[in-house]
């Protein structure tokens, strides 16, 4: 019975994802002159974008697609993901906190900071919040902070979610939904996503969640 539950919970979803990815790649390669192939490339790993993989398949598209408006926008997206990948200096973020005061990622320099991209209207984000609350409780006194960057547009919904989920760390937003300024510089087209920044401002991990995030923090915050 336990083996069956493991198969359903872990092996089967991975197999379906792999099958789906193979199908996406087939569609991309079969339609190099179709601008919709750009969206298919993005779907390959929307929640953990890989700039190298995206570049490989983007280059396989017809020149007319790559030079189209959609193609140029997607190329900038790949560049943003590349410029905010592990080993790169974290792009600056300055937005307004819940009190309407400007606050910056730079204000937390000298600490390990998890920049958490989320929104009140995002069910997976809300489901992950209890895990973040527990992690923050365990590591906040070990030179670790979280900076929540919300993709909300409704300030009241944003504030309510912070209160309801008991998110006691710093929160900022420009209330521009998917047009949030941080989305552009970090290449965020799906949430939840995050980056872990070290005290020197360098990104040391991207898109670690739950136990993976906890293990990473245990490793670096000894």
Q: Are 105 and 113 in contact (CB under 8 A)?
A: yes
Q: Are 163 and 83 in contact (CB under 8 A)?
A: no
What are the pLDDT digits (tens) for 41-64? 988 877 888 999 999 999 999 999
CA distance 1 to 213: 30
- Alpha-carbon torsion angle 154, 46, 206, 139, nearest 10: 50
What are the pLDDT digits (tens) for 94-147? 999 999 999 999 999 999 999 999 999 999 999 999 999 999 999 999 999 999
Domain termination residue (choose one: 58, 83, 108): 83
Q: Are 85 and 96 in contact (CB under 8 A)?
A: no
In the numeric block, the tokens 């020197």 are attached to: 200
**pTM (2 decimals)?**
0.83
> Which CATH number do you get for residue 112?
3.40.30.10
Residues 10, 36: one domain? yes
- Count of domains forming the chain: 2
Give the Å distances, CA to CA, from 49 to 36, 77, 116, 173. Answer: 18, 10, 16, 22
Q: Is pLDDT larger for residue 1 or for residue 152?
A: 152
Residues 103, 142: one domain? yes
Q: Which of 7-11, 70-74, 90-94, 184-188 is the least confident region? A: 7-11
Output the pLDDT for position 20: 85
Residues 76, 104: one domain? no
Residues 141, 202: one domain? yes
Residues 101, 7: one domain? no
Domain extent at residue 162: 94-220
Among candidates 34, 45, 21, 162, which has minimal Cα distance to 99? 162
């Amino acid at each position: 019975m336990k083996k069956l539950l493991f198969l359903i919970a872990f092996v089967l979803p991975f197999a379906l994802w792999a099958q789906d990815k193979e199908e996406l790649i087939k569609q991309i390669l079969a339609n190099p002159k179709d601008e919709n192939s750009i969206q298919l490339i993005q779907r390959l790993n929307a929640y953990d974008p890989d700039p190298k993989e995206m570049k490989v398949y983007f280059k396989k598209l017809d020149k007319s697609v790559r030079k189209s408006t959609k193609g140029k926008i997607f190329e900038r997206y790949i560049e943003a993901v590349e410029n905010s990948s592990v080993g790169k200096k974290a792009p600056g973020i300055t937005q307004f906190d819940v009190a309407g005061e400007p606050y910056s990622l730079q204000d937390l320099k000298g600490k390990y900071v998890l920049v958490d991209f989320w929104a009140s209207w995002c069910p997976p984000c809300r489901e992950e919040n209890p895990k973040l609350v527990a992690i923050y409780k365990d590591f906040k006194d070990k030179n670790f902070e979280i900076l929540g960057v919300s993709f909300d547009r409704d300030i009241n919904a944003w504030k309510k979610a912070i209160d309801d989920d008991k998110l006691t760390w710093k929160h900022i937003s420009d209330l521009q939904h998917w047009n949030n300024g941080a989305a552009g510089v970090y290449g965020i087209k799906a949430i939840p996503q995050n980056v872990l920044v070290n005290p020197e401002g360098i990104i040391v991990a991207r898109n670690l969640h739950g136990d993976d995030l906890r293990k990473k923090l245990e490793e670096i915050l000894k």
